[in-house]
Amino acid sequence: MLQERFKLKIGVFLVIFKENTVLLSRRYNTGIGDGCHVLPMGGLEEGETVTEAIVREAFEEVNIILQPSALRIAHVMHRLHLLPDGTSFPQIDIFFIPSSYSGVITNNEPHKCDELKFYLLDNLPPSTEPFIKQALQCIQNGQVYSEIGWSQNATHTSMHLCDTHKSLYPHSQDASPAIYEVSGASYDYTRNADPTLVTTLMHLLEWKDTGRYLDIGCGSGNYTIALSNKGLMVEGIDLSTTMLQKAHNKANHIRWSQGDMRALGFESCSFDGAITINTLHYVRKTLVATFSEMRRILKPGGKLVIFAIGLEQCLQFWLGYYFPFFRDLGRQILASRDTLIDALTEAQFVDIQVEPFFVTEHTSDLFSYACKYRPHLFLDPNIRANMTPLQLPEYAEEIRIGCEKLQKDIVSGAIYRVIGQHESQLGEGLCIAAKNSV
């Protein structure tokens, strides 16, 4: 006897991020999940592709027009869809992120949705459907697949975009120095201590001639050495042995230690102050614990000074115009200004000061956006090699296309219009100082 071929329902979901928020709708008068918050969504209809389905649903539900070329699949979920009557059916859910769209977001279906608004990713409504929460968390973690609903005790499985991405930006409890074991040889080609940033760090640190200071995540020691040359008694700690060897070769009079920033290995109250530069994206999920450990090794009143790129800043970088994944990656690994302040407060730091750092055409530490006013430098593979987001292999094709578009705009002069459109008073980095309350 011939068995009927198994049929599977396909759901399509639209994920629109705006800075550190996401667009959610509240279901109304549908009979399923009314009062719950979900992403704009719909089902695949007979004869259409999933891309056609999400384009159709986006227009029908929220009044925007999507181009297929601007869509990226961010997550796929195998879900056992549970109905109010206790029955269930399996479903594949596909979550799309658009790099752009046209039209004004409007609630086109008030008979099915009584609220359409952006919510903070860190503070979703309690009524958000659990599978939506899981999908958004997976997207932020760079996980492309998960399962939910199949067993009460089952844990969802996930697959990262690639092992390299996982090693560069781990979202588990484990930080990894893997990227620097690869790029350490050429790191100093672009990552020099910027004099303006050094001056700012020293000012915020309120250093004393007799004080002892620590550079946490020191890398190859460029800032450690620059501060030492200014008269600070400073030492460095890093997870990467390759980078530490480079640091030692440059300045063997400085003490260099191998260790994790979340378990520093020094006695409590050992240092008068500490700095950490462009490291927090590796501990995005454990900020409070990491800050608590940093505070532990500081003397009472000791200062922690941080240089970091905030999420809000990343989202306004013009790099995202040419490399859309840059913003998506930022949402996964960067904390907002307020999140950093809240984490420092929870870790019992006080007197928290925040200053924006502005890139200029003279900025010498060529971190990910330091070539803002020198766009041609982003076309140099030797420079991109030490800008972590622009060396991730899973984005190689997007990087190639983005570089071609950037080169064309540099030749035509259109790049200057793009740069002007993305100017912001937020700055390109955050300099944060906080004091040990104990």
pLDDT for 257 beyond 60: yes
CATH node for 178-436? 3.40.50.150
Identify the band that residue 151 occupies on the pLDDT scale cut at 50, 70 and 90.
low
* pLDDT 10s digits, 96-148: 999 889 999 999 999 989 899 999 988 888 888 889 999 998 888 778 899 98
CB-CB contact of 279 with 287 (8 Å): no
pLDDT at res. 250: 92
SS3 of 7-37: the string is CCEEEEEECCEECCEEEEEEECCCCCCCCCE
pLDDT at res. 389: 82
d(CA 271, CA 265): 12
Q: What residues does 27 pair with on adjacent strands?
A: 113
Q: Averaged over 180-194, what is the pLDDT?
A: 65
Residue ranges covered by each domain of the chain: 9-159, 178-436
Q: Which residues of 49-73 are buried (b: 16+ CB within 10 A; e: fewer)?
A: ebbebbbbbbeebbbbebeeeebee
Which residues are within 8 A (CB) of 280 and not within 5 positions of it... i.e. 6 or more apart? 287, 290, 306, 308, 335, 340
pLDDT at res. 157: 41
pLDDT at res. 123: 83
pLDDT for 1 beyond 50: no
CB-CB contact of 326 with 319 (8 Å): yes
Q: Averaged over 70-74, what is the pLDDT?
A: 92
Query: Which tokens go with 430?
Result: 């955050």
Identify the band that residue 32 occupies on the pLDDT scale cut at 50, 70 and 90.
confident
d(CA 302, CA 202): 13
Torsion of CA 309, 139, 319, 277, to 10 degrees: 20
pLDDT for 5 beyond 70: no
pLDDT for 420 beyond 90: yes
DSSP-assigned letters across all residues of 231-262: T-EEEEEES-HHHHHHHHHH-TTS-EEE-BTT
pLDDT for 22 beyond 50: yes
Q: Averaged over 192-219, what is the pLDDT?
A: 94
Q: Averaged over 411-428, what is the pLDDT?
A: 93
Which one is predicted more confidently, 7 or 370? 370
pLDDT for 163 beyond 50: no
Identify the band that residue 85 occupies on the pLDDT scale cut at 50, 70 and 90.
low
Beta strands across the sheet bearing 256-258: 256-258, 233-238, 212-216, 271-277, 298-308, 429-436, 349-357
Which one is predicted more confidently, 178 or 356? 356
pLDDT at res. 3: 55
pLDDT at res. 30: 78
CB-CB contact of 368 with 327 (8 Å): no
pLDDT for 153 beyond 70: no
d(CA 15, CA 54): 11
pLDDT for 181 beyond 80: no
CB-CB contact of 271 with 294 (8 Å): no
pLDDT at res. 187: 66
Which one is predicted more confidently, 340 or 190? 340
d(CA 319, CA 327): 8
Q: Averaged over 216-243, what is the pLDDT?
A: 93
Closest CA to 242 of 221, 263, 266, 215: 221
Q: Where are the alpha helices (DSSP H) in 106-233?
A: 130-140, 163-168, 178-183, 195-205, 222-229
d(CA 97, CA 75): 9
Judge whether 9-159 and 178-436 match in fold: no
Query: Which tokens go with 285?
Result: 């999920």
pLDDT for 269 beyond 90: yes
φ and ψ at residue 359, rounded to 5 degrees: -70, 145
Q: Averaged over 312-339, what is the pLDDT?
A: 91
Distance between terminal CA atoms of the chain?
77
Q: Averaged over 376-398, what is the pLDDT?
A: 83
Q: Which residues of 352-377 are buried (b: 16+ CB within 10 A; e: fewer)?
A: bebeebebeeebebbbbbbbbebbeb
Mean of all residue pLDDT scores within the chain: 86
Identify the band that residue 188 occupies on the pLDDT scale cut at 50, 70 and 90.
low
Q: Averaged over 277-294, what is the pLDDT?
A: 91
Which one is predicted more confidently, 361 or 149? 361
Identify the band that residue 411 occupies on the pLDDT scale cut at 50, 70 and 90.
very high
d(CA 304, CA 214): 9
> What is the CA 175 to chain-centroid distance, rounded?
15
CB count in 10 Å sphere of residue 108: 17
What class, spelled out in words, does domain 9-159 have in CATH?
A: alpha beta
